[in-house]
Amino acid sequence: MRADDPTRRAHHLAAATTAPDETVAQAIQDGADHATRRGGAAIAVQLLVRAAALSEQADRRERRLADAAFLATFAGLLDEADGLLGRLDRLNGDLGAPSTLIADGYLRLIRDGAIAPTRLTPVTLLVRDVGGDLLRHADGARDRVADAFTWPDLTPMDVTLLALCAYFVDSLGEHRSFVERMIEREVAAGSKTDVITLLQLTLLDETVRGRWDEAATTYARGQELTAGLGRGLDAHLFRAFYARVLAQRGDVPAARELGIEVDLWARPRGVGVLLNHVECAALAGSLAIGAYDPAWRFALGLTSPGSFRPYAHESFRCVLDFVEAAMATGHSEEARRHALAATAQGVPAVSPRMDMLCTAALAITDPTPDAGRLFEAAAGHDAAPSFPFDLARISLAHGRWLRRNGDVRGARVALGRAVELFGSLGSPPWAERAAQELSLAGASVDETTDRLALLTAQERYIAELAASGLSNKQIGAQLYLSPRTVSTHLYRIFPKLGITSRASLRDALATAADSPTS
């Protein structure tokens, strides 16, 4: 730390000054601001409390204590924040003073999911547009977010809010290294709030990008970080987000268990964002196992045909899920209305991914031969490689359409791609459905896929150990992995080998090894 560092100077002044002195108090506050910009929120809290003690005017003392309480909440020092708010309570006579509303409201948001007001800074204005009624502000939103990441003097809170915006326009992956550096810096500085929120957004991004093993690791890290902190909202956000991963993998019982836990906490409090994500996970899980009637009920719980609600982003982000549930239950008119409304209301402008999904929704609901052109546009979209689960579902729908319209050769290509993608992602029920469609097209999975080549070196070793009869715990002990991680790997291995249970592993490995393509 340099000798002229404002934070260091603030520490010296704080220790050397005993009587109220506004000049010194301001210098200490400047040091706190400097510490905040560098990710040292916990240090800034101490300095602001000292600056408040040295303030000559009551209103400035009050404001500095309120800022300290807000930062304490943001740094995860919830008990300290409570204590500071108690001092403000005694100072003001109540918690209704403007200088304390934000601090008190934010603390309640973190603990109980209550909503609190925010200041309209430039970053907040961007959050208002992108995080609120995004469909009205979708044009150019991705460019605005990308530009904001280049702004100078971004605070950790600014980066967290920008990461939120980036997720909403499906560009968080493009800023992943920036976000990861911020996470590591905040961990080193001891500030938990930014880390927790950035990990939640990372989990969401890993979910949509098909990086489900990484999502499992992020979820475990988030649960460990929030344990014992009293941050009910954050703990349940992690659960609600990860339920979608489990649902897409077809582990519906585990997804449902998380969903129920979240619902019991969120519903009495009216925390809509949690309930929306639980609904999405339930919809995804029902689609994965072919439970289409429940899927349609969950879709209607999310939104109504042709409707996309402001501030409820999942109402349009789940456009493909909604359309598939509607078509599978005979509600083709509602499905078509929903697909057309998505395009008319600007959903494709949100991101290349949403453009791809809306094109696929139009294709699935189009009763004319033009559906083929739309399927090709969706499957060949520039966004497709970045979102393998979406591409796999589009390929499955395209292959089914091609087979029913007499293009068996084209169907085999599309369905073979779907089998391979679902297998590599680790989603047994989706992979099995794609394999069944492929067999109806007159080809077996073995004819289109070198199964052993789909396994990584570690996956093949785990498969061989499991086939030899070792338990997940025993395998984990050999490879220094947790039993849960071993289980996750097996979830990915099964569909790659065309099986659905551990009991079939030995035969599947032997068959794959003996095949000519191996």
* Residue 124 to residue 350: CA distance in whole angstroms: 19
The H helix count followed by the E strand count for the chain is 30, 0
CA distance readout (Å), 159 to 147, 165, 245: 12, 10, 25
Q: Cα-atom radius of gyration of the chain, to the nearest Å?
A: 26
Tokens of 303: 């939104």
**407 neighbors 398 (Cβ within 8 angstroms):** no
* Residue 255 to residue 341: CA distance in whole angstroms: 30
Buried-state track 5-30, b at ≥16 Cβ within 10 A, e below 16: ebbebbbebbeebeeeeeebbebbbb
* Residue 293 to residue 379: CA distance in whole angstroms: 27
* Residue 296 to residue 291: CA distance in whole angstroms: 9
DSSP 64-104: HHHHHHHHHHHTT-HHHHHHHHHHHHHHHSSS-SHHHHHHH
Q: pLDDT for 214-257, tens place per residue?
A: 999 999 999 999 988 888 899 999 999 999 999 999 999 999 99
- As a residue count, the chain comes to 518
Rounded mean pLDDT for each run of 10 residues along the chain, 518 residues in total: 72 84 90 80 86 84 82 74 68 47 60 54 83 90 94 87 95 91 86 89 96 94 87 92 95 95 92 92 97 97 91 91 98 98 96 98 97 97 96 97 94 92 90 91 67 75 90 87 82 77 82 58
Q: Which CATH class is domain 457-514?
A: mainly alpha
**211 neighbors 249 (Cβ within 8 angstroms):** no
Among residues 17, 25, 73, the alpha carbon closest in space to that of 45 is found at 73
- Angle, helices 156-168/141-148, rounded to nearest 10 degrees: 160
pLDDT at 84: 76
Buried-state track 496-507, b at ≥16 Cβ within 10 A, e below 16: bbbbeebeebee
- Which DSSP state fits 219? H
pTM attached to this predicted model = 0.71
* Residue 393 to residue 370: CA distance in whole angstroms: 19
If 0-12 CB within 10 Å is exposed, 13-18 middle and 19+ buried, where does residue 36 land?
A: buried
* Residue 282 to residue 298: CA distance in whole angstroms: 7
DSSP 106-127: HHHHHHH---------HHHHHH
pLDDT at 7: 83
* Residue 264 to residue 186: CA distance in whole angstroms: 32
pLDDT at 287: 97
Tokens of 15: 């220790």
